[in-house]
Amino acid sequence: MNLADVFTVVLSVAGLLTVFVGWWLAVAGLFPRLVESCADKLGTAPLKCFAIGVAWAVPLIFGLVGLGKFSTSPVAKFLSVALVMVTVLLALAGTAGLALRIGRGMAAATDGDENWRRVRRGGIVLAITYGTIVLLPLTLLAGLGAIVLARSRDGEKSATGPL
């Protein structure tokens, strides 16, 4: 492995982590109440969020991968890939709440009411922790559980509107 290969891997990982932070900021900007609710759920019941995320993700992912693998229809294969991608994006949207939760713990005097600053700060810290590789699937599963809880009828009684 030469230096060019090392730079390729390092810069690819850095780019992916930058995309994560950008996704968290976009979700926080588009759906602030949802991100607030996810942050509250992850703060009060992280193990419950993780358990619900596992309960939703495992059958869904295995079912969709099985559908894509054993189906002969190109439409079914495309739909299975698309639904797996949507599931991962929803899990990342839920982890925007975790980024907000981390950012709240590192609040600065200049933040004011600008939650995006907290999401950015917490997102950078969360992205750095993904270097361990172990935390990435754990936080994605917890994020999926948080978004399921936030969107359930019991989870968000105070919010009005679709999101």
What phi-psi label fits residue 81: left (phi over 0), alpha (psi between -120 and 50 degrees) or beta?
A: alpha
pTM above 0.75, yes or no: yes
Task: Calculate mean pLDDT across residues 27-46.
Answer: 94
Structure tokens at 125: 């810290």
Question: Mind listing the pLDDT tens digit for each residue in 90-125?
Answer: 999 999 999 999 998 887 888 777 888 899 999 999
> What local confidence, expressed as pLDDT, does residue 153 receive?
59
Residue 77: Cβ within 10 Å count: 15
**Angstrom distance (rounded) from CA 23 to CA 2:** 32
Which range has the worst mean pLDDT, 20-34, 47-61, 82-96, 106-120?
106-120
* Burial (CB count within 10 angstroms: exposed 0-12, middle 13-18, buried 19+), residue 33: middle
Q: With contact defined as beta carbons under 8 Å apart, do 100 and 39 qualify?
A: yes
